[in-house]
Amino acid sequence: MKVKRGRIVIFIVLTVIILGTVLSTTETIWGRITKGLDLQGGFEVLYQAAPNQKVDTDILNQTASAIRNRIDILGVTEPDITIEPPNRIRVQIAGVKDQKKAREIIGKPAQLTFRDPTGKKVLLKGTDLKPGSAKVGYDQSNQPLVEIQLTDAKKFENITRTYIGQPMPIYLDENQLSAPTIVQAIPGGRAQISGQESAEAAQDLASLLNAGALPIKLSEVQSYAVDASLGEEALRDSLKAGAYAVLAIFIFCIGYYRLPGLIAVITLIAYGYLVLLVFDALNMTLTLPGLAAFILGIGIAVDANIIMNERIREELRHGKSVRSAVKTGSRRSFLTIIDAHVTTIVASLLLFYFGTAAVKGFSVSLIAGIVVSLLTAVALSRIMVNLLVQSNLMNKPRWFNVKEDEISDL
């Protein structure tokens, strides 16, 4: 049979494109994926709304953004704050280098206070502000100012009367944010802080004041701190282990299945790459449970390749030609793989729907892994095997590790 060069060229080009893309972009994608605290170190605190107060998703969201404001103000980059209905908020700060500082920040939510001119005596607390009431306004000469509302108008009136003509500094913890002077006694529970340098400065102060007045009272139920170096060590160890495992799997696949094994290896590389891409696209955080699902996914993808190749070898042993063995073997194994994949997807969908936190993370990774496995281990593998078979290059059973004497005469 004449060897068809065109298909071999397509095969080689496909391989080069896959390997080239993987080699050139994996590092960037890997860098973009958020690693969980268990893999890169950091701090996590789980807050729960104290009992006997009205809590719903909206209130939780408001509270979460208030917490975000506080942490942003304190100069920590990109905290990950998620609400867990009905009544919890999880705050994570990853990859912190200064452990002590982060512990202090995350360990206790900042306290907003209005104090007397000496800065010693607390006159009002954040909770005396109406939640979400601080906003930017403008005076007659169009200068920016911050408007606030208080829950207890009478109390505020009394305080402003006592300290007339003196400043009443506003503190977040021990950081003074602003020190407005009280011009007159203020009745009615509404006040303005004038003299803002810019609209941005006014907005910052308004956010801070709102953040200081958390809509609900929270208590800390759980905290978790992984030293950055320990987290990095865990990730490095896992990656090293993964590299050896992948190497062993590759050697095994090629050693046992020969050419189709090599194709399996190429599709496995594509598999790993695409799963990372999905993690990146969905903005998922890679944690240990996610890693577990990733390993399971590799197993399932390898299995799909093995099932197909075993089926093809079986057909070859029955004396079929390579072409027809590949055709029948692919078709028959396809249904098997689909049934196994769909069953696992059905189960993971249920896990996703009913599961929380770690269980959800696991099921999302698993679903992603199986869908990608369908694309690579099933579709891509078939395309590549068919390219080689139809080129007439791979036309001997021994390419599939089937010896002549194993083939039964029909």
Partner 1 sequence: MTYNIDFVGKRKLFFGISVLLIIAGVVSLFVQQLNLGIDFVSGTRLDISMGKAVNIDQSKKLLTDLGYTEPNARVGGKQADVLIFRTSQTITATKVSAIEDAFNKQFATKVNIQSQVVDPIIGRELARNAIIATLLACVAIVIYVSIRFEHRFAIAAVVTLFYDALFTIGIFSIFQIEVDVVFIAAILTIIGYSINDTIVIFDRIRENFQKMQPKKWDDLANMVNESIRQTLVRSLNTVVTVLFAALALVILGGESIRNFSLALVLGLISGAYSSIFIASQIWIVWTWKSMQKKLESAKRNFV
Among 215, 224, 115, 223, which Cα is nearest to 175's?
115
Nearer to partner 1, 291 or 380 (CB): 291
Contact between 37 and 224 (Cβ < 8 Å): yes
- Of the pair 266, 298, the CB lying nearest partner 1 is at 298
CB of 284 to partner 1, least distance (A): 15
Taking residues 274 to 293 in sequence order and writing x for each that binds partner 1 by CB under 8 A, - otherwise, the string is --------------xx-xxx
375-404 residues near partner 1, rule: CB under 8 A: none
Window 300-319: contact mask with partner 1 (x via CB under 8 A): x-xx--xx--x---x-----
Query: Which string of DSSP letters, residue by residue, matches 71-133?
Result: HHHTT----EEEEETTTEEEEEEES-S-HHHHHHHHHSPPPEEEE-TTS-SEEEEGGGBPTT-
Question: Cα(325)–Cα(310) distance, rounded to whole angstroms?
Answer: 11
Closest to 408 measured CA to CA, from 400, 399, 397: 397
Q: Based on the shown chain and the rule CB under 8 A, indicate whether residue 100 belongs to the binding site for partner 1.
A: yes
Decide whether 210 or 363 has the Cβ nearer to partner 1: 363
Task: Give CA torsion, residues 303, 305, 310, 315, to 10 deg.
Answer: 140
Instruction: Figure out which of the listed residues 217, 240, 318, 396 binds partner 1, where binding follows CB under 8 A.
Output: 240
Q: Which of 62/223 has CB closer to partner 1?
A: 223
Q: Which of residues 167-226 bind partner 1 (CB under 8 A)?
A: 221-226
Dihedral, 161, 163, 168, 174 alpha carbons, nearest 10: -120
Is residue 56 near partner 1 by the rule CB under 8 A?
Answer: no
* Binding status of residue 104 toward partner 1 by CB under 8 A: yes
Residues 244, 282, 318, 396: which binds partner 1 (CB under 8 A)? 244
Given 298, 374, 387, 389, the residue binding partner 1 (CB under 8 A): 298
**Residue 335 beta carbon to partner 1: minimum distance, rounded to whole angstroms:** 7
Asked if 91 interacts with partner 1 (CB under 8 A), we say: no
Judged by CB under 8 A, does residue 241 bind partner 1? yes
50 binds partner 1 (CB under 8 A): no
Distance CA 98, CA 364 (A): 32
296, 375, 383, 407: residue in contact with partner 1 (rule CB under 8 A): 296
Strands in 190-193's sheet, in edge-to-edge order, are: 135-138, 144-149, 190-193
Backbone angles phi, psi at 118, to 5 degrees: -80, -15
Of 149, 167, 262, nearest in space to 213 by CA: 149
Q: Which residues 217-236 are close enough to bind partner 1 by CB under 8 A?
A: 221-227, 229-230, 233-234
Binding positions for partner 1, 124-153, rule CB under 8 A? none
Specify the residue, 6 or 255, whose C-beta has the smaller distance to partner 1: 255
State the burial class of residue 266 (Cβ atoms within 10 Å of its Cβ: 0-12, 13-18, 19+): buried
Q: Could you say whether residue 253 binds partner 1 (CB under 8 A)?
A: yes
Closest alpha carbon to 68 in 92, 86, 46: 92
Q: How far is the CB of 294 from partner 1 (least distance, A)?
A: 10
Side-by-side strand order, sheet with 122-125: 122-125, 112-115, 170-172, 175-178
Count of residues that interact with partner 1, criterion CB under 8 A: 74
Stretch that binds partner 1, among 62-70, 99-107, 160-168, 187-195 (CB under 8 A): 99-107
Half-sphere exposure of 230 (CA within 13 A, CB side): 9
- Could you tell me the smallest distance in angstroms from the CB atom of residue 109 to partner 1? 13
Between residue 6 and residue 45, which ones bind partner 1 under the rule CB under 8 A?
A: 38
Q: Is 122 in the site for partner 1 (CB under 8 A)?
A: no
Longest pairwise C-alpha distance within the chain: 108
d(C-alpha 403, C-alpha 393), whole Å: 17
Residue 185 or 295 with smaller CB distance to partner 1: 295
For residue 249, state whether it binds partner 1 (rule: CB under 8 A). Answer: yes
Please enumerate, as own/partner, the contacts of 326-332 that have beta carbons within 8 Å and a separation of 24 or more.
Answer: 326/385, 326/386, 326/389, 330/382, 330/385, 330/386
Residue 269 CB, nearest approach to partner 1 (Å): 15
Q: Which of 353, 378, 244 is closest to 300 using CA atoms? A: 378
Task: Give CA–CA dist 361/377, Å, rounded.
Answer: 23
Q: Which residues in 332-371 contact partner 1 (CB under 8 A)?
A: 332, 335-336, 339-344, 346-351, 353-359, 362-363, 366
> From the CB of 223, what's the least distance to partner 1, in Å?
4
